[in-house]
Amino acid sequence: MHRTQAPPVFILGGFQTDFSRNVTREGRTLADLIRETAQGALQAAGVAASEVEVGHLGNFAGELFVGQGHLGGLLVEANPAFAGLPTSRHEAACASGSVTALAAMADLEAGRYDVALVLGVELMRNGTALEASAKLGAAAWVPEETQGLAQVWPELFSRVGDEYERRYGLRREHLVAIARENFANARRNPNAQTRRWSLDADSFEPGSPSNPHVAGRLYKHDCSQVTDGGAAVVLASERFARAHARRQESSPSVITGFGHRTSRMALADKLADSQGDAYVFPHVRRAITDAYARAGIEGPAALDVIETHDCFTTTQYLAIDHFGLTPPGESWRAIDDGLTAFAGKLPMNPSGGLMGLGHPVGASGVRMLLDAHKQVTGAAGEYQVNGARRAATLNLGGSATTSVCFVVEKDG
């Protein structure tokens, strides 16, 4: 890994919409959602719109869901003070939000600007769940690996579970434990899509009326939700962050490490390439260890909390060993020991994750970064992890084609 000593990038604050909303039923549009998210972030961070010097917006499929592209222009429409603001739109499937943050960080590290607004947004509930699933298939290799699949992503991530079972063994009870924990965590989160859902033991029973089969080894409550939502953070240089902290009497967080890797497009090719490697996705492991190295930490023992990609239970299962919480193939040990539970030594997805909180695709990476900031600054409310000072995020795009990991710490 090529490492350079870049200037630090600070998170001043941010905002997340309520992920339980259906924006179309409210009579609102993608432009409205962008405006609300941007204004909320500025207010939460205590930054005036006129102080923002650059805007970066993440979105996966605005063209497919609402027929709208050129979303940087809609970000300018969010506030009159943004007229003339340089903006860019970024896309990397479900990792769109994280690559958006990386682009904004590069601007700040290069000294081009001092303040960046980073926003991720997706409007996906303006049709049926099956229609949304078909559109989201564009993040796979079309048509090479999508042809003949009724449910592209459940099918592909079920195969990830199949690969774990073939290499190491995989028990259904451990996937159920992940789902139970994430949905339980979501009940503490006032912005979670499923916070009011009524779930009981039958809800996690394979094939029960409330947990129907979706594809392969996955059932309804193994899956994340089709979600409308936006999330945004305000990033700043150290110079601006220090002055802002004195002005606001607030404490920012700082992004101390990141990792970003892209693998081959098709899942089958990724799995074939990793034969003989201890990790099912070696490039995901490298993204995580790159972030550890840049942050100057050895591994997960230095972390207090993780927000990870759990589009399916199998995805969080792979995140556990790829973060190094267990040896490869032994993620079940962390689950059995309660290590990743809300009250465990290293809680995973206290927010509820993508399954419980919701997964507006272009927003999820930014939302994870915001939750990492909230945790290390003690602002996570009912889902606050006691004493959290260092958090990590992992955001995946496609069948883990794109992987981005951040390490976020309390400043000072």
Q: Look at residue 37 and tell me if it is in a domain.
A: yes
What's the number of domains the chain is made of?
A: 1
- Contact assessment for residue 146 and residue 301, using Cβ atoms and an 8 Å cutoff: no
Q: Look at residue 24 and tell me if it is in a domain.
A: yes
pLDDT at 5: 75
pLDDT at 3: 52
- Contact assessment for residue 149 and residue 133, using Cβ atoms and an 8 Å cutoff: no
372-401: per-residue pLDDT in tens?
Answer: 999 999 999 999 999 999 999 999 999 999
- Contact assessment for residue 260 and residue 404, using Cβ atoms and an 8 Å cutoff: yes
Domain interval for residue 89 = 9-127+226-248
For residue 211, give the nearest of 198, 221, 200, 226 by alpha carbon: 221
pLDDT-based confidence at 176, cuts 50/70/90? very high
What's the rounded Cα separation, in Å, for the pair 348 and 345?
A: 10
For residue 305, give the nearest of 192, 390, 396 by alpha carbon: 390
| Residue 301: pLDDT over 60 | yes
Longest dimension (CA), the chain: 58
Q: Look at residue 399 and tell me if it is in a domain.
A: no
| Residue 249: pLDDT over 90 | no
| C-alpha pair distances (Å), 325 with each of 79, 110, 292, 306 | 44, 34, 13, 11
Identity (one letter) of the amino acid at 236? A
pLDDT at 4: 58
Q: Look at residue 15 and tell me if it is in a domain.
A: yes
Q: What is the mean pLDDT of residues 194-206?
A: 95
Residue 144: CB atoms within 10 Å: 11
| Residue 1: pLDDT over 50 | no
| C-alpha pair distances (Å), 197 with each of 21, 280, 343 | 14, 33, 22
| C-alpha pair distances (Å), 115 with each of 40, 237, 377 | 16, 7, 20
Q: What is the mean pLDDT of residues 96-110?
A: 98
Q: What is the mean pLDDT of residues 296-313?
A: 98
Q: Look at residue 287 and tell me if it is in a domain.
A: no
Q: Which residues contact 296 (CB under 8 A, 6 or more apart)?
A: 256, 257
CA 88, distance to chain mean position in Å, is: 20
336-383: per-residue pLDDT in tens?
Answer: 999 999 999 999 999 999 999 999 999 999 999 999 999 999 999 999
210-226: per-residue pLDDT in tens?
Answer: 999 999 999 999 999 99
Q: Look at residue 154 and tell me if it is in a domain.
A: no
- Report the CATH number at residue 39: 3.40.47.10
Q: Look at residue 101 and tell me if it is in a domain.
A: yes
- Contact assessment for residue 127 and residue 64, using Cβ atoms and an 8 Å cutoff: no
Q: Give SS3 for 253.
A: strand
pLDDT at 250: 77
pLDDT at 247: 86
The two structure tokens encoding residue 280: 């099912």
Torsional sign, CA 141, 143, 149, 151: positive
Q: Look at residue 304 and tell me if it is in a domain.
A: no
135-169: per-residue pLDDT in tens?
Answer: 999 999 999 999 999 899 999 999 999 999 999 99
Q: What is the residue-averaged pLDDT of the chain? A: 96
What does the DSSP 8-state code read for residue 361? G
Please confirm whether the linkage preceding 143 is cis (ω < 30° from 0).
Answer: yes
| C-alpha pair distances (Å), 225 with each of 142, 251, 326, 365, 396 | 23, 33, 28, 15, 16
Q: Which helix (H) or strand (E) holds 111?
A: none
